[in-house]
Every structure is written in C-alpha cells, then in structure tokens.
C-alpha cells in the first residue's frame, strides 16, 4: 500500500461515512486519538502516519465502501 496508499482526504471521508468521531475510531482500533489524527494528516506532513492495510480494510467495511465484502448486522446481537 506504499504508493497506492489512501490519501488523508479519503481516510477522513471513509471515517465520516462510518458516523464515528476520530476519538471513537481510535478507540475501536486500540490507538490514541493523537495517533489516529496523524493518519488523517496529508502525506506531506512530517507528523503523518500511514494507515495499515487492516485498518484501511476495516474502515472501508464500516463505511460500506469495500469493493468485495460487506458487513451484515446480526438480527439478535446477544447471541
């Protein structure tokens, strides 16, 4: 995902589509808010951090934008 890694704008757009805040998505991924915010910075920023392949795939799934898979909500989430 080096040269073809998503832009900061794409990452932010996907997160917004999930309906989650930066704080909520950071908690979901088990990282600090500051570290997530750096993933949404432009690549030209010295503080930019790359999104991992697994983070990007989950973000696409949560946003309903994955090219191959979709998430399906359980009818009875307690089971």
Total number of domains in the chain: 1
Tokens representing residue 36 in the block: 């997530």
Classify residue 3: in a domain, yes or no: no
Classify residue 78: in a domain, yes or no: no
pLDDT of residue 13: 98
Q: What is the pTM of this model?
A: 0.84
| pLDDT tens digits along 42-53 | 999 999 999 999
Classify residue 1: in a domain, yes or no: no
Classify residue 76: in a domain, yes or no: no
Q: Which of 63, 14, 65 is nearest to 40 (CA)?
A: 14
Q: How far is CA 42 from CA 7, 62, 76, in A?
A: 7, 22, 41
Q: Is 73 helix (H, G, I), strand (E, B) or coil?
A: coil
Q: Residue 64 and residue 79: Cα distance in Å, rounded?
A: 23
Question: What does each of the 79 residues of the chain score in pLDDT, given as a tens digit?
Answer: 445 789 999 999 999 999 999 999 999 999 999 999 999 999 999 999 999 999 999 999 999 999 999 998 888 777 6
pLDDT of residue 5: 87
Question: In this structure, how many other beta carbons lie within 10 angstroms of the beta carbon of residue 4?
Answer: 5
Tell me the average pLDDT of the chain. 92
């Amino acid at each position: 995902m080096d040269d073809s890694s998503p832009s900061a704008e794409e990452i932010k757009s996907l997160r917004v589509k999930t309906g989650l805040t930066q704080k909520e998505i950071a908690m979901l991924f088990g990282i600090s808010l500051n570290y997530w915010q750096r993933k949404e910075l432009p690549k030209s920023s010295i503080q930019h951090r790359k999104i991992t392949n697994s983070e990007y795939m989950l973000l696409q799934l949560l946003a309903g934008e994955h090219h191959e898979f979709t998430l399906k909500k359980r009818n009875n989430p307690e089971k």
